[in-house]
Structure 1
Amino acid sequence: EVETGKRLCVVPGGKKGTEERHMGHASHIFCMAISSDGKYLATGDRNKLIMIWDAATCKRLHIFTGHRDAVSGLSFRKGTHQLYSASHDRCVKVWNVAENAYVETLFGHQDVITGLDSLSRECCVTAGGRDGTVRLWKIPEESQLVFYGHQGSIDCIQLINEEHMVSGADDGSVALWGLTKKKPLALARQAHGMQDAQGLQQPYWISAVAALRNSDLLATGSHSASVKLWKCSEGFRKLEPLWDIPLVGFVNSLKFSAAGDFLVAGLGQEHRLGRWWRIKEAKNSICIIPLKRRAAAPSSKAPDSS
């Protein structure tokens, strides 16, 4: 519960191979999604499994199998119980959760898929890691659009509204896209600055992005000791930095609340995709950052949404 920080339910993990007898996952959980009506929770793990839960009771309802590698992204289509899943096997799969049914598989990425998102249209967007592409999958048409713009591995993606999305890469760039243009509308290079790693200067990798749905507010995370808030200005053609929120550790996930009154950050001592560095002073934790709507003149002390 956000207000009190109280845990409402805990599902313990189990040993590999015990998933049928044991309630929880037996390997690392990489992604989660909840249906827009709050009925279903979906969780995906390193052991190729997708588990479906009753969100209110935490009772496990079903296990979907079919991916050939770790499940890296999950998203329910808004207003439905249709679930999209992405995997390190380079595939996107479509499921009907209400009927415990597999629907179809979509192929196209040339490397592991690192992120996935969807809204109410029958389509989803994915980040393709080192294949250097972002893709929009149109499910009914069985077609895909391919977007290019980052130089490195594209590690995170989020839809802002039905026409725009944001992505982040390990070249340090944050890209703002229109779903009808194959190149970014705006690109912030070295969005979190530069770091000195083993004597080499390189940009801080972008490890998480979030958008407050149907607004102009974005958040990005790295391991640069802060989460950054951005404004999409000039008709989504410019990324304007707003605030830095101090946070120590790898920001492995970010999500705005539906009302935009807080931002949730998943912090770790290590990057979610590999063990390249370790920040010992960081805590593996969930951080809830309250956001206030700006009524008067801006204050540089507190993060505001615009």
Structure 2
Amino acid sequence: MSFFIKNKGKQSQNKKKQAGKKRPAEAPKKGAPHRKKFHGLNEEIESDSEEEDHVTKSHDQGYSSSESDNETAQEKKLRLAKQYLRHIEAEERDNNIDDEVNRDAVSHRLKQDLLEQAGKLQKKLAENIVPPSQEDLILFRGHQLSVTCVVISPDSQFVYSGSKDCSIIKWSLKEKRKVHVIHGGRKGTEKKHVGHTGHVLAMALSSDGKYLASGDANKLIHIWDAGPMTLLHTFKGHRDAISGLTFRKETHQLYSCSHDRSVKIWNVDERAYVETLFGHQDKITAIDSLSRERAITSGGRDSSIRIWKIIEESQLVFNAHSMCSVDCVALINEANFISGADDNSLSLWGAMKKKPLFTLKNAHGCQATDESKVEGQEENWITSVAALHNSDVVASAGSKDGSVRLWKCSADYKKLEPICAIPIVGFVNSLQFSSDGRYLIAGVGQEHRLGRWWSNKKAKNSIHVIPLATAVK
């Protein structure tokens, strides 16, 4: 039985009839919500090819234009391939003194990009990482309550953080100070307050650094100009708290997930709602994406991870190794990802297998507490994970063990080896690597971002910047 889920019936028959016909490019959908309910787990279908031309797709913004009107799929691929080739040639020409294009360099770039998009490129960085000392860490403090989410700009110049105090702060890494503060407002002042009036639970930054998206417990998604931090638009539509946000790489297509068990797609350039996807049976806890027009989510207590294939209108369903809550997930590359669960386990996955390729149990150890002395030990569930894209380095944080751990992935993604543990007191609610691998950013609070089950008064509500510049080159 395949674990690929796809719509069947009349829709598949219609697609056969329309094969080969030209059709206009899809415009962003507006007006009444268009909801797609992805079908149940017991349908058997053929798997779609994973060897698609994702290099050209990653440079298509996904929006309608006069150039793409009435194009066939083949014509569109050819146009995007030529556009991408011109882009690479221009970059190589700029890098050369004699203004000539180095064809070997262009060929190497294309090969590397193809391997990267296919998930077959793994940069060997783990063996060069040197454990940072406490003196190397950069500490930012400014939030009154727990930091729930952090993102770093593509040029590694700025860090953005959100908190349970409903505020957003922009920090300068170079100057080590606040650049801008958007204060939180009181509940009931949504119409006049510029900013959030509920806990900020999720943030995302577009890969060009233009847009910052932030989501809160009041079901709102704010879109900000990431430079001056001015509010551009507010998306409404979710029926419960926003638990995750991510921009598709190289585009302004935004994916959001919520405790209402749905995933929504937004066109930020057009300030437009696109569609809604259903499938999870419990609150969605995290979301991530890369270049392909798809998103990956973790489903909490439904013990599943799902990859949403937007174009194919289908989904891949992955089942956790045990009946646990899958609380966080992060893509390593287009074909592999890592997840963390409340049973203190880390799992490595491949996109073509239903079960984990490898599961490391008791990843963050156990901690004896006064409440648990009778029963023995208490597990530290995994609160956040992050991956340095297309490399062998991943990071994870446990709820109570007071550390962020770096791990080395084997080449076949069937083993995790510890690199080092970085002591950090408190709940690490968010982790993100900078795109150049120079930093690992950790958002820390006295409480978990989604609840108040425990409170660690010794922790500081802060952002920890962990430099890896001396190791990752």
- Alignment of 1:170 with 2:342, yes or no, is yes
Structure 1 residue aligned with 2:50: none
Residues 150, 169 of structure 1: 8 Å contact kept:
no
Matched residue SS, 2:178: coil
**2:354 equivalent among 182, 198, 211:** 182
- Distance (Å, rounded) in 2 between the aligned partners of 1:283 and 1:159: 29
Alignment partner, residue 207 of structure 1 = 383
User: By how many angstroms is 1:20 displaced?
Assistant: 2.8
- Root mean square deviation, CA, Å: 1.2
Q: Secondary structure at the match of 2:214?
A: strand
% identity of equivalent residues: 60
Match of 1:297 in 2: none
- Preserved CA contact (<8 Å) 1:150 1:173: no
**Shift, 1:142, TM fit:** 1.0
Question: Is 2:310 aligned against 1:139?
Answer: yes
2:191 pairs with 1:20: yes
Tell me the distance in 1 between the aligned counterparts of 2:420 and 2:383: 18
**Alpha-carbon distance in structure 1 between the residues aligned to 2:248 and 2:205:** 10
Instruction: Say whether 1:237 aligns with 2:408.
Output: no
Aligned to 1:68: 239
Partner of 2:331: 159
2:368 aligned with 1:192: no
Q: Is the 8 A contact 2:332 2:391 kept in 1?
A: yes
The 1-side partners of 2:197 and 2:254 are apart by: 22
- Deviates most, 63-72 or 216-225: 216-225
Aligned to 1:287: 464
Q: Which amino acid aligns with 1:224?
A: D
Amino acid at match of 1:190: N
Q: Where in structure 2 are the equivalents of 1:1-306 lying within 5 Å?
A: 1-151=172-322, 152-197=324-369, 198-199=371-372, 200=375, 201-222=377-398, 223-294=400-471
> C-alpha separation between the residues in 1 aligned to 2:432 and 2:240?
25
Shift of 1:292: 3.9
Paired residues, number:
296
CA offsets 1:51-73 (integer angstroms, 9 cap, x no match): 00111111000010000000000
Bigger strand fraction: 1
Deviation at 1:8, TM superposition (A): 1.0
Higher share of residues assigned helix: 2
User: Could you tell me how far apart the structure 2 residues matched to 1:233 and 1:157 are?
Assistant: 18
Consecutive unaligned residues of structure 1, counting only runs of 5 or more, are 295-304
Specify which structure has the bigger relative contact order, considering alpha-carbon pairs within 8 angstroms and separated by 6 or more residues.
2
Take 2:255 and 2:321, find their aligned partners in 1: how far apart are those partners?
Answer: 24
Larger Rg: 2
Deviation at 1:293? 4.8
- What TM-score, normalized by structure 2, do the two folds share? 0.61
State how far apart, in whole Å, the 2-side matches of 1:153 and 1:56 are.
37
Query: Quick one: distance in 1 between partners of 2:448 and 2:235?
Result: 27
Point out where structure 2 has 5 or more consecutive residues left out of the alignment.
Answer: 1-171
TM-score by length of 1: 0.94
